[in-house]
Structure 1
Amino acid sequence: MKTAENPAPAAGPRPAAPAPPAPGAPAAGRGQDSPLRRKLADQSRAWAFLIGGVLCFALFSWYPAVRAVIIAFQKYTPGSSPEWVGTDNFTQVFHDPEFGAAWRNTLTFTVLALLLGFAVPFVMALVLNEIRHARAFFRVVVYLPVMIPPVVSALLWKWFYDPGGGLANEALRGLHLPTSNWSNGADTALVSLVIVATWANMGGTVLIYLAALQGIPGELYEAAELDGAGILQRVRHVTIPQTRFIMLMLMLLQIIATMQVFTEPFVITGGGPESSTVTVLYLIYKYAFIYHDFGGACALSVLLLVLLSLFSAAYLRLTRGGED
């Protein structure tokens, strides 16, 4: 009796063998997390830039500010260990004969610089916005003083204001007009410094105003012209309302900057004549590097910081309330 043999498997197509991966192609299971890796890499770079910026601010801005507040309550001179004295430094600077003059000169300088340095750049921006030919040339000419180092600019104006052979008095003599003492006169020194500061710093302000003016829709001016509005009326009812936010922010920044004026009094007048150009920052310099009293210098710095902080907070609150 024959044993039944195993039946042969049914004939049919065999499954195709998997094709080998192409050269350079990622293996199976790899590359699926590449979007996650890219996201982590982007976040790592962002955090690296953020941490670097924070460290720079902490090292060069925040630490000196905190250190100055601490030294304001200490007797600190080079070569000696700090000694806590409480509010003695503030009492000392309050009784300084130059303390009142420094604050008075600083506030006067700020008001004059605001009246002159706030109106002139705006008018110049209006003029540049209307110029149709050689726009780039005039913008470079207006911005050129900003590119000159502040000390060089102050030295140029010091020669310009020389009462003997300075260019200012030479021009007045050529026009048969009376000459002036300019920065050498107690009555004219502060105004002379305001002119220098306005000339040296208005270039950036003019360009900011010019950018704001070019962002105003032309349809508003066309509608104003159809209503019969003149140039001054268009500026009052169209230009100023459309640039109001920029004007308010620049006003705040200018007040903060002019309250810290130092280069012009230091280079041109040296605080004179008769302490007529001694500012708060110049008095801080004298306490630190002439009197070697770093405690008094830091006390004055803290007073200036508190005043500017209170003013900035009140200013921002008032302007925000006006916008609401």
Structure 2
Amino acid sequence: MTDAVLDIRQLKTHFLLEKGIARAVDGLDLTVKSGQILCLVGESGSGKTVAGFSILGLVSEPGRIVSGEIMFKGEVLATKSDRQMSHIRGDRIAMIFQDPMMTLNPVLRIDDQMMEAILIHHPEYGRKRARERCLAALSEVGIPAPEARLRNFPHELSGGMRQRVAIAIALLNEPDLIIADEPTTALDVTIQAQILYLVRKLCRSHGSAFIWITHDLGVAAEIADRIAVMYAGRIVEEGPTDAVLDHPRHPYTEGLIRSLPEGQAPGQPLFQISGVTPSLLNLPKGCPFRPRCVRAQADCETAPTERISEETRYRCFHPANTPNEGSANELS
């Protein structure tokens, strides 16, 4: 795909523990195009964050990428040295963390942190030009009186303001790819809505590809062009947002959608997917969702191959009824 910014094939990131091997990411296939927002959705422990860290080469011991390929703008990231990756991170690929205080240094003013993010990659800018770029970035993310905010320390800003600063830092060098790890989870609904609108607008204007990691399908519905649903280290369903949310194929996707409060009748208990997420050290035989699945049958003890129905791909032997479906191998 010539317009693919990121192309991941059969990525496996495992944690080699004393008790065994935790397969946090176990055969991930993912493609993100320029100007596209893809939401990576799933419960805690599904492997979403580890996938994001794998792309950036930030997985620490005892975790390691054991196989697979990560192609970024035609370059194989796995062959890059730590030094080469440090030039890519923050410049061509940026990350926004869930807690902006993980990004912002509490003892440095905002201007020092923002200018460092530019000058470490582009020393030719000089401090004057770098400061002008910082002011422009703060204005882009809707921060009032940006000149005054540059002189603030992080603790002098509200949570929503700090997250806007973190987004501004991610945008400073106009990266080709931005990875956001649940950056609106700790914000109130009004600020969250503003951030979602802002990200979508900036993604379109800058043409950056965006991976938004979240457990919230409501957020995904608001912002995503495509949704990829992860479970136990694998993508179990992926496709255009409307197709995935309106006609889910995988039982896990159906369960997540039914769990949304918006779909519940007043006074009725909220729907819950039965059971708990499996231990990555001891995954069930065959389909990892089998012990929790209402449609599980004997053949689910065999790992399902990827299938395609119209624009959606999924891994399930007994999906919701859908026309024109076949195995991915048959259709390729």
* Pair in the same fold by TM > 0.5: no
- Structure (1 or 2) with the greater strand fraction: 2
Q: Max radius of gyration: which structure?
A: 1
TM-score by length of 2: 0.23
TM-score by length of 1: 0.24
Which structure is higher in RCO with an 8 Å CA cutoff and minimum separation 6?
A: 1
- Structure (1 or 2) with the greater helix fraction: 1
